[in-house]
Structure 1
Amino acid sequence: MLKKAFFSNSSGILCSRICGFFRDVYMASSLGAGIYSDIFFVAFKLPNLFRRIFGEGAFTQSFLPSFIYARYKGIFALSIGGIFALCLLILSLIVWCFSPFFTKLLAYGFPQENIQLAAPIVAINFWYLLLVFIVTFLSTLLQYKNVFWVNAYNTALLNLAMIGALFYAKDMDKLQIVYMLSYGVVIGGIAQISLHFYPLYRFGFFKLFWLSLFHLKDFWIKKGKKHQIFIADIKGFFKQFFPALLGSSTAQIIAFIETFIASFLSFGSISYLYYANRIFQLPLALFAIAISTALFPMVAKAIKNQQNTQALQAMKKAFWFLCFALCLCTLGGIMLSQEIIWLLYQRGSFSASDTHITAQVFALYLIGLLPFGLSRIFSLWLYSHKLQGRAAKYSLISLVCGTVLSLILIKPLGVLGLALSSSIAGFILFALNGYALGKKNFFCIITHKKAILLLFTLLFLEGTLLYGIKLLLQGYIQ
């Protein structure tokens, strides 16, 4: 089951990321790395941040265990979905009405004329926040039934919608292209929701929602044993959700803070971070997010049934798989950083100097790939035991350390200091989550002498092969 779920996730994520790279290549060619690309990335940053938090973190890791334990699942799911949807609708309307204020918060270092340009674009993109919550909510319900492909493939629809918007706007000026991209984001979100309808119908969720809707009022208003159980489930979810909001989102929040700090640097800095982080996210999503998403329901159910040994064995297999995959990606990415950025982005408005800086940022991001990936495996133990508060504490420590380091390193290293501080924060998070497992559980997972020997052998062979490739490519990269 784990292998099937992983391949379903990873294949979908790969498809989505390939579409995403085509989108980014098209975007880099159309907008380059300058004020207009910075405006779009600032506008898209907040909804994209929440997409990662909701889709890959806090909501799923809080809702799924609560849904598993909930006595009245239909009523519980309908209530949680309705509460979040209403709150996000109100928030989106507020951002729409006061978009200059929120734009200033997102990019405080922008001059006023750029704030005015960006404000309506921020308002358009913010509607994706509501859409992506609905996507995440529906995907999490399907994960309970071990249906992972919808969650994995739906992001491809967002990327395809944005590619279509870029194609439609190819003859327009750069500001109009940014507007078309923003409308493409909203259209993509609607398409993502639509993809869930058939599997939800097939597994009976529409019928469950319809029947639960007639009893919703009774559970919320009428006092009694059922009401008390239902309210306890709702309170239990929110007690887990708010700590998990921080605990599962360190990398995303750090990236958000980096964008804010980078707004004080020269134009193009936000774009360098974005393009480099996009490639960094590929192996993280393809391996770490795919395996942890597939693993989480299994670990949560095993721990609920007091099968801790079974949970640890599943985590050990995932841990060593990630070690091999992410170590090989890290070494390859660092050695070929210049070539990768050149191949993907250097065309049109994206210059050779843009390639050079983006490659350096990318290499520094990759230093944190392994710790961020392995932290996702270790954190499953905390979330499955409903220890979201402890996970949040560790994440807060990592976040504060990363932010302080960003402020320290930005002066001598500029945009490179932001990427390096992010990687250091990843190591801090990994150490804290490993500590939370306990000494016995930690060594149970990491002890594997044959795997360690094989890993170092493969890294040596990869390094030798890539060194030869770099020699052959010399002279082609300008």
Structure 2
Amino acid sequence: MFKSIFSNSFGILISRVTGLGRDIMMTSALGASVWSDVFLMAFKFPNLFRRIFAEGSFTQSFMPSYIASNQKSVFAVAIFIRFMAFIVALSFLVTIFPGFFTKLLAWDWGKELIAQTAPLTAINFWYLDLIFIVTFLGTLLQHKEHFFTTAFSTVWLNIAMIVALILFTNSDPATIVYALSFSILIGGLLQVATHLYAIRKQGLMKILIGGWKYRRTKDVKAEEKKFSSLFFPSVLGNSTAQIASFIDTSLASFLAAGSVSYLFYANRIFQLPFAIIALAITTALFPKIAKAIKNDNHTLAYENLHKSFWLLSALLGLSVLGGMLLAEPIIWLLFERGAFDIEDTRNTADVLMMYMVGLIPFGLAKLFSMYLYAMHKHLMAAKIAVISLVVNVIFSVILMQSMGAAGLALAGSIGGAVQMILTVREVGWKLFFDLLKSRYSLYFVAGTAAFGAAFYALNDFLIHLIR
């Protein structure tokens, strides 16, 4: 298991580091300005649907169904055709009516801003079609416990955007955001090509070819129906985090200029440890737990969960301390240059600290949610996610009044805490407390105190140095 986690984490690390490089260049070119808000808003739509339909819901529903299928080739291709047809149709709809869909994202924006953003929304949305192909192929690779290709593939997106920023660095902001939008599609094509190569190397091409060659049977249709019964609750469960992000972005449009960008840049830092640690561990863990539960081997499932729990908690705890106590130096180092000034650094650091409050709750919620999905409890996971969304929205509206963009980030962390508590309750408090009884709990407390003191002293030194 640790080999799978390491390969997944390493791939995500490379991807996120190049992503940070891309964001650093983008902040230098656009700053926290109207044009950065326009581009990020246009890119928000495909990201929203990508995370709802492609990455989260699809993988968590498809994997257990695929493991249980008696005709894997036919089942896989039948599901691919159904989803691809829907996504292509949706992309055409967005292309025909881009202004309408853009207005759904930023209802407080005026006609001029909507008109500037709409063409970019139409271009960016086609990335969803490409990334669904990547997600489908990546799920087949995960079943073979091959994680690196999918984790690494986002590097191609980042490289494409970096090249666009280099080529158009001296252009006007409008040209830069159009170049970035087209580079996203180029990056998506490179991701698809990478996955097709990995599929061929892993000997999985015969699954795809076989699925196209043979007709569906009654058994496969029954499996499709079972998949649908899992998928739609999974859509609801996975969409709540993205809907919350969608709502936060829309609420930020009511705040001071640059608020959308503060949320984006702070969330990029937050997502680095979350992806490298939480997503990497849970992604590697999911097929193992799903297979163990299918074989009625709950002891093996618990052993994998125990190892993952403490590895996740220790690494996320360290990240929380570093992210909160070193927030301003981190933002200064990564982003304060060009059009991004000291005020932007301080505002983004405030948002980052509020995001980091929820890092451990979000990570543990993700871990235990995987356990629910592996047990086919998709509907219960969806109910929990909806409750956390409602809590998130209520606190967003309340806290943004006094805290601005930072209040929106804190509301998200509160929602994450609620989701963690309810998910753990459903999995079982006894199992959770059994995990806490481990000897690792003492190491966790001692390590937290030691690293907390060290990071506090380092922050004090760096603040005096840079200011």
Is this a same-fold pair by TM over 0.5? yes
Residue 93 of structure 1 deviates from its aligned partner by 0.4
User: Which residues in structure 2 correspond to 1:11-410 (within 5 Å)?
Assistant: 11-54=10-53, 56-216=55-215, 219=216, 227-410=217-400
Task: Give the distance between the partners of 1:332 and 1:214, measured in 2 at CA.
Answer: 53
* Alpha carbons of structure 1 residues 147 and 63: separation in structure 2 relative to 1, 3 Å: same
Residue 467 of structure 1 deviates from its aligned partner by 2.3
Task: Give the distance between the partners of 1:252 and 1:313, measured in 2 at CA.
Answer: 31
Aligned to 1:223: none
* Alpha carbons of structure 1 residues 465 and 440: separation in structure 2 relative to 1, 3 Å: closer
Residue 387 of structure 1 deviates from its aligned partner by 0.9
Q: 2:76 touches 2:211 (CA, 8 Å); kept in 1? A: no
Q: 2:32 touches 2:258 (CA, 8 Å); kept in 1? A: yes
- The residue identity in structure 2 corresponding to 1:386 is H
Q: Give CA deviations for 1:35-86 in whole Å, capped at 9, x if unaligned.
A: 1000011011121233334564211111011000011110110011111111
Q: Give CA deviations for 1:150-185 in whole Å, capped at 9, x if unaligned.
A: 111001111111111111111110011000000011
- The residue identity in structure 2 corresponding to 1:282 is L
Q: 1:316 touches 1:446 (CA, 8 Å); kept in 2? A: no
* Alpha carbons of structure 1 residues 88 and 56: separation in structure 2 relative to 1, 3 Å: closer
Q: 1:251 touches 1:372 (CA, 8 Å); kept in 2? A: no
- The residue identity in structure 2 corresponding to 1:346 is E
- The residue identity in structure 1 corresponding to 2:441 is I
Task: Give the distance between the partners of 1:322 and 1:115, measured in 2 at CA.
Answer: 42
Q: 1:74 touches 1:209 (CA, 8 Å); kept in 2? A: yes
Task: Give the distance between the partners of 2:31 and 2:189, measured in 1 at CA.
Answer: 28
Partner SS state of residue 379, structure 2: helix
Task: Give the distance between the partners of 2:242 and 2:306, measured in 1 at CA.
Answer: 25
More deviation, 241-250/69-78 = 241-250
Is 1:456 equivalent to 2:452 in the alignment?
no
Extract unaligned runs of 5+ from structure 2.
none
- The residue identity in structure 2 corresponding to 1:422 is G
Q: 1:36 touches 1:178 (CA, 8 Å); kept in 2? A: yes
- The residue identity in structure 1 corresponding to 2:205 is F
Q: Give CA deviations for 1:308-341 in whole Å, capped at 9, x if unaligned.
A: 1110111111111111111111011100000000
Residue 249 of structure 1 deviates from its aligned partner by 4.2
Aligned to 1:475: 464
Task: Give the distance between the partners of 1:473 and 1:414, measured in 2 at CA.
Answer: 26
- The residue identity in structure 1 corresponding to 2:39 is F
Residue 252 of structure 1 deviates from its aligned partner by 2.9
Residue 212 of structure 1 deviates from its aligned partner by 2.5
Partner SS state of residue 57, structure 1: helix
Partner SS state of residue 364, structure 2: helix
Partner SS state of residue 170, structure 1: coil
Aligned to 1:413: 403
Partner SS state of residue 474, structure 1: helix
* Alpha carbons of structure 1 residues 3 and 16: separation in structure 2 relative to 1, 3 Å: same
Task: Give the distance between the partners of 2:78 and 2:303, measured in 1 at CA.
Answer: 35
- Structure 1 vs Structure 2 CA RMSD: 1.2
Task: Give the distance between the partners of 1:305 and 1:140, measured in 2 at CA.
Answer: 20
Task: Give the distance between the partners of 1:251 and 1:334, measured in 2 at CA.
Answer: 22
Task: Give the distance between the partners of 1:249 and 1:295, measured in 2 at CA.
Answer: 21
Task: Give the distance between the partners of 2:354 and 2:213, measured in 1 at CA.
Answer: 54
Residue 246 of structure 1 deviates from its aligned partner by 2.3
Residue 305 of structure 1 deviates from its aligned partner by 0.5
Superposition TM-score, scaled by structure 1 size = 0.96
Aligned to 1:222: none
Partner SS state of residue 66, structure 2: helix
- The residue identity in structure 2 corresponding to 1:460 is A
* Alpha carbons of structure 1 residues 347 and 13: separation in structure 2 relative to 1, 3 Å: same
Partner SS state of residue 266, structure 1: coil
Q: 2:78 touches 2:211 (CA, 8 Å); kept in 1? A: no
Q: 1:319 touches 1:446 (CA, 8 Å); kept in 2? A: no
More deviation, 247-256/307-316 = 247-256
Task: Give the distance between the partners of 1:442 and 1:469, measured in 2 at CA.
Answer: 34
Task: Give the distance between the partners of 1:368 and 1:203, measured in 2 at CA.
Answer: 38
- The residue identity in structure 1 corresponding to 2:272 is L
Task: Give the distance between the partners of 1:153 and 1:195, measured in 2 at CA.
Answer: 10
Residue 287 of structure 1 deviates from its aligned partner by 0.4
Partner SS state of residue 466, structure 2: coil
Task: Give the distance between the partners of 1:350 and 1:146, measured in 2 at CA.
Answer: 42
More deviation, 247-256/150-159 = 247-256
Q: Give CA deviations for 1:176-213 in whole Å, capped at 9, x if unaligned.
A: 10000000111000000000122211333222222332
- The residue identity in structure 1 corresponding to 2:207 is L
Task: Give the distance between the partners of 2:110 and 2:256, measured in 1 at CA.
Answer: 12
Superposition TM-score, scaled by structure 2 size = 0.98
